[in-house]
Every structure is written in structure tokens, then in C-alpha cells.
Amino acid sequence: MNKKIVPFTEKQIRNIIAEYPTPFHIYDEMAIIDNVRKLISAFAWAPGFKEYFAVKATPNPYIMKLLKAEGVGADCSSMAELALCEKVGIQGHDIVFSSNDTPYEEYKKAMELGALINLDDISMIEYLEKFGPLPDWICVRYNPGPLMKEGNDIIGKPEEAKYGMTRDQIFEAFRILRDKGVKHFGLHTMVVSNELDPNGLINTAKMMFELAVDVQKNVGINIEFLDFGGGIGLPYKPEQSFVDYNFLSNGIRNYYEEIMEPAGLGNIRMSFECGRAITGPYGYLVTTAIHHKHIWKEYIGVDACMANLMRPGMYGAYHHITVMGKENVPKDHLYDVAGSLCENCDKFAIDRPLPEINDGDVIVIHDAGAHGHSMGFNYNGKLRSAELLLHEDGSVTRIRRAETLDDLFATLDFSNL
Ligand SMILES: *Cc1c(COP(=O)(O)O)cnc(C)c1O
């Protein structure tokens, strides 16, 4: 169970809307900080434990900066994400570059920033060497394929996933890297996504510990860095519960003591690259009901659309909805809450029991703090919305303005028509 509450009153949010019209995303600064502190302190036992925030989840420099102040690094996989790190002053091994299908210029940028390079494929060794020297530190990404039994809804079966290397390739890659003089080695995987069962995450860690020991046996090198990827899930539905960080940490610790310490690998640095779990629950898409329509079903039209939050339309994902000021009104209406795209999947909710909604009601869509604004797009010429940061004292900083038509048309040349 988790309470789907919002960090503002109706009066407060209407005051904010008076200054920043809907739709917008608003992030609860203190809740993000508290949450990441909890995660980091749960792993206080682990030497050099680091959370690398998956920048793609919420690529906003203000969010990255407040996380940086908590000792959080950045997980990047594109030029833009690296450039954001540079702007925020995140560098060196505070960046892990976990990319795939990567052009050299992105590796080059990552190496200039001193990032930990995580190779998605064995062929990347030769590819990197074509253009320049290998860095001293290299991490390689593992795909267990059918060796791992359970799959996961978003990533699917590992053998169907495009990421990482097979077990044999991992050993081969480390041999090649060692022979080429690379000094320090890391191992990465990400086989679950939006996982609410901590045992799924604990088993990933166990698999990685065993692999690190096998690498030691087969290749004769000691891995110094282990990265379990992202994947800590969110209780999008009220009846689901948050992953217990202490339970997760204890489960990992047990395997660490059982597998790593006897192998002399008790000093390995562990990390996660969570995005969703860090900011997801603490971001809200705020929109206004602007139309209602009764045909074969009952529709509420809002001023946000799938371009602001894609997950419901793309994955059929559930996002909880609060109608401001009607929190305690009986949910005796069944609505489809829709946006304005010319796509029928542009719905935030289908057949959702909600209180009666009137035009002008403020509708809050929960758990939009990660993979929300960042997955936005401009289909139908929809403009990307603003992002606001809500401070503990109730004040607000606009951390991204809404796009204008000029932004949208900036790449068009109307002068020679
Ligand atoms: C997407 C991604 C993450 C973050 O995943 P979350 O579900 O947001 O935790 C981390 N690492 C890599 C390599 C990814 O592709």
C-alpha cells in the first residue's frame, strides 16, 4: 500500500497555476532528497557505494545538481546527457557512460570528462582502438540471456534484449582488455526494469557476484567495480508498496559476504543506476480539465496529452490521478481521461473511477517524475511543457520554461518559401 497524496493543497496549486499555466511537471525537492538519502544510507556498509542517477529519467540540470549535492553521480548514454553533466560539473568517475550502439564522438566526450566507460559489446574494444587509446578503466556489460530464468515486463527476456555481452564474451573481453594493458575493470548489467520485488534485484546482484568470482578464476583479474544498473520499481498503483531499501541492501549484503569476501573481492565498489526510483514518485503532471464529452463512454479532456507523459499511452501503464479538492468525494464516475492528440491511445486513464469532474478542475497525474517529461515529443506540433521545482517552504522555481511555437519551428527555414 502507498498513499497517493500530493505535496500541495488545491489553493497552493491554483496559485502556482496563476503564474505558470498548466500543463506542467512539478517536482518535490525535499522528497527527492529524502529518498536518495535513504537509498544511500541503506548501503552505508558497502565500500564506496554510489548511485548514478540515470539522467534520461529527468534530464534537468537543477535535478542533477541537487542530486550531486547528495553525492549522486550520473549514468549517461548520449551526447546530450554528457553535455548536461559537463554543465552541472559532474565529471570523472562520478559519470558512468552506459551506452549502446555508440558513435565514437560520444565515447570521446565521455573519456574527455573522465567518465567510466561501460562497453555494451566486445566489438567496441576494436572500435575504440581504431580512433584512439583505451582508457585505464573499463567496464563491460553482461547479458545473461537464457542463463537467467525470469524475465521482466519492460526489458523482457534477457536473450531478447539488445544490450550487453554473453558470458563467454565477457571472459574474452576481459582477456583482451588485460592484454592491451587496461588496468581496472568493472562489470555491469541491467536485467530488470520497474521491479518491485526486491528479490529480483537481489538475485541480479548474486548473479554478478558469481560472475565476478568466475572472472577471477578464468581470467585472473579482480573486478573493482560492480554496477547493477537501474530497475528499482515504483508502486504506480496505490495497492502496491515501495521497494524496501534496507531489505534490498541486506539481501545483497548476505550474498556479498557469502560470495565476494571469501574470494578476496570484499573491497569491490558497488553501484546502482536508478532513475525511476529516485525522482519518479516525487514528480507530478498537473493539468486542467477543459472539456467533458459523453458518447459511448464518458470522457474528460485535459490540457496535457501523451506528449507530456507517454507511459499510459505507450505501455498501458497505470498512473494514479487526484482531482484537486475532491480527494474525499466518492469515486462514482467512470471516466476516460484523454489528451488532444489525433491518436486514440492518447489517454491517461481508461474506465477510471473518479469523483465527478467539472471543467476547470485541476487534475494531478502521479508518478510522473521520471520517464515523464523526458519521454515527451512534439507529435501534432504539441509543445513540451514547463518543469517546476517545489521547495520545502512552498515556493517554486521554474527549472524549464514551456516551449513556444518559435522553439518548435526553430529548425525550419521560412525565408525561402
Ligand atoms: C534506463 C536505464 C537506467 C535507469 O532505469 P530506471 O528504470 O529508471 O531505474 C539505468 N541504466 C541503464 C543502462 C538504462 O538504460
Over the stretch 150-168, which tens digit does the pLDDT of each residue have? 555 555 688 888 999 999 9
Residue 153 Cα distances to 66, 200, 293, 315, angstroms: 31, 13, 34, 10
CA of 395 to the centre of ligand 1 (A): 31
Check pocket membership of 54 for ligand 1, CB cut-off 6 A. yes
Check pocket membership of 275 for ligand 1, CB cut-off 6 A. yes
Dihedral angle of Cα 164, 166, 171, 172, to the nearest 10 degrees: -90
pLDDT at residue 255 above 60?
A: yes
Q: Please check whether residue 236 is in contact with residue 193, taking contact to mean a CB–CB distance below 8 angstroms.
A: no
How many CB atoms sit inside 10 A of residue 164's CB?
Answer: 24
Instruction: Give residue limits of the domains in the chain.
Output: 43-274, 280-408
CA of 130 to the centre of ligand 1 (A): 29
Tell whether pTM > 0.85: yes
Q: Please report the pLDDT score of residue 1 as a whole number.
A: 87
364 - beta bridge partners? 286, 322
Question: How far apart (Å, rounded) are the C-alpha atoms in residues 46 and 252?
Answer: 10
Average pLDDT over residues 286-310: 97
pLDDT, tens digit, 9 for 90 and up, residues 39-85:
999 999 999 999 999 999 999 999 999 999 999 999 999 999 999 99
Question: How far apart (Å, rounded) are the C-alpha atoms in residues 223 and 186?
Answer: 6
Element (H, E) at 66: helix 61-68
Active site residue 305: no
293 - beta bridge partners? 299
Check pocket membership of 233 for ligand 1, CB cut-off 6 A. no
Check pocket membership of 229 for ligand 1, CB cut-off 6 A. yes
**Would you give the DSSP letter of residue 127?**
H
Check pocket membership of 98 for ligand 1, CB cut-off 6 A. yes
Pocket test for ligand 1, best of 245, 273, 276, 315 (most atoms within 8 A of CB): 273
Identify which of 409, 408, 390 has the alpha carbon closest to the alpha carbon of residue 399: 390
Pocket test for ligand 1, best of 75, 196, 226, 311 (most atoms within 8 A of CB): 75
CA of 371 to the centre of ligand 1 (A): 10
Cis? peptide before 47, omega within 30° of 0:
no
Q: Please report the pLDDT score of residue 135 as a whole number.
A: 97
Question: How far apart (Å, rounded) are the C-alpha atoms in residues 36 and 38?
Answer: 5
Q: Please report the pLDDT score of residue 150 as a whole number.
A: 55
Residue 159 is placed in which grid cell?
536473450
Residue 120 is placed in which grid cell?
555494451
Architecture of domain 43-274: Alpha-Beta Barrel (3.20)
Confidence of residue 268 (pLDDT cuts 50, 70, 90): very high
As a whole number of Å, the end-to-end CA separation of the chain is: 58
280-408 to CATH, choices 2.40.37.10, 3.20.20.70, 2.30.30.100, 2.170.190.11: 2.40.37.10
Q: Please check whether residue 281 is in contact with residue 367, taking contact to mean a CB–CB distance below 8 angstroms.
A: yes
Question: How far apart (Å, rounded) are the C-alpha atoms in residues 15 and 26?
Answer: 13
Q: Please report the pLDDT score of residue 283 as a whole number.
A: 98
pLDDT at residue 149 above 70?
A: no
Catalytic residue among 76, 85, 274, 342: 342
Identify which of 358, 355, 353, 346 has the alpha carbon closest to the alpha carbon of residue 288: 358
Pocket test for ligand 1, best of 274, 282, 375 (most atoms within 8 A of CB): 274
Element (H, E) at 83: helix 79-88
CA of 229 to the centre of ligand 1 (A): 6
Check pocket membership of 75 for ligand 1, CB cut-off 6 A. yes
> Taking all residues of the chain, what is their mean pLDDT, rounded to a whole number?
96
Check pocket membership of 276 for ligand 1, CB cut-off 6 A. yes
Residue 52 Cα distances to 68, 227, 322, 388, angstroms: 10, 9, 31, 23
Q: Please report the pLDDT score of residue 134 as a whole number.
A: 97
Question: How far apart (Å, rounded) are the C-alpha atoms in residues 56 and 53?
Answer: 9
pLDDT at residue 362 above 60?
A: yes
